[in-house]
Amino acid sequence: MRLDRRKILSLTGAVALAGVVIVGGIYGPTAWKVLRGQVNMVPSEEVVIQTPPVNSTASGQEATSPSDSATEGQANNPPSAQPEKSTSTPTDQKGNKKYTEPDISLLNPAPSVAGYFGPNALSDAAKTLAFGIAWNLHQYADGYLGGATAGPQMNNSDIKKYIVFHKTLWEKQMEKETKLSQAATLDTYMRNLLNRGADAFDSNDKIRIEQFHQEIHDLDTHIFRDDLSSKVYGATPFATKRTE
């Protein structure tokens, strides 16, 4: 049996890439550094950003520069690209929060979201991805608004790219879903939420950044973790009113 060399190389690359994703958690900063160059190859029309339009001139050059490769040195990296090793504060300062990987054992969708898709409408991979997106972005929104003691640090332009990265992953996963029509409401909401977040950080609009923070907070702690002890902003269409 003759093996095609190109197929062997492609298979080897796919296995290596899968290993990176596993090591990096549910698309955390490590995996993002490796994969974001591939995401930037996706045609821009697939990521629809709300007005005002994204300034692709500055951010696009930064995203596709050679220094964004997985082997880039920290000297060529902005501190925001490695938020878990922030140099803005002493490393021995107590209370600073670092990035933590999503804890899938906490995935427990609230009753308020159950009516938007049947028990088998979304695959486990899609549910896990949605949970990981909310978990990851919540951390950086907290850190951006509350400082190093509230969450890991990343500047607004990199958070915008991080959001677009996750939105692209979500869209690719939705292409694989066989019963997407049963979860269309949630899918549309996720895409629009990530659009709003990317636009808010791109324009550095503090009001819209806070609105995005409230939505991603609710999505993470309330919708996907059903955490009764967490503050509820009521910022998502899936919010369940509970008496405190």
Per-residue DSSP letter, 223: I
- The pLDDT value recorded for residue 116 is 67
d(CA 142, CA 148): 9
Task: Tell me the three state secondary structure of residue 40.
Answer: coil
Q: Are 223 and 109 in contact (CB under 8 A)?
A: yes
Give the distance from CA 206 to its chain's centroid: 19
Query: Hey, what amino acid is at 169?
Result: L
d(CA 132, CA 136): 6
d(CA 139, CA 152): 6
Q: Are 183 and 177 in contact (CB under 8 A)?
A: yes
Q: What tokens appear for 228 in the block?
A: 């009764």
Q: How far is CA 196 from CA 65, 190, 200, 201, 207, in A?
A: 26, 10, 6, 9, 12
Per-residue DSSP letter, 225: S
Q: What angle do CA 227, 146, 229 make, to 5 degrees?
A: 15
- The pLDDT value recorded for residue 214 is 95
| CA gyration radius, the chain | 19
d(CA 224, CA 221): 6
Q: Are 138 and 217 in contact (CB under 8 A)?
A: yes
- The pTM of the full predicted model, rounded to 2 decimals, is 0.67
Per-residue pLDDT of the chain (244 residues; tens, 9 = 90+): 555 555 444 544 444 444 444 445 667 877 766 666 555 544 343 333 333 333 333 333 333 333 333 333 333 433 333 334 333 333 345 689 999 999 999 998 877 676 666 677 888 899 999 999 999 999 999 999 999 999 999 999 999 999 999 999 999 999 999 988 888 888 999 999 999 999 999 999 999 999 999 999 999 998 888 888 888 888 887 765 443 3
Task: Tell me the three state secondary structure of residue 91.
Answer: coil
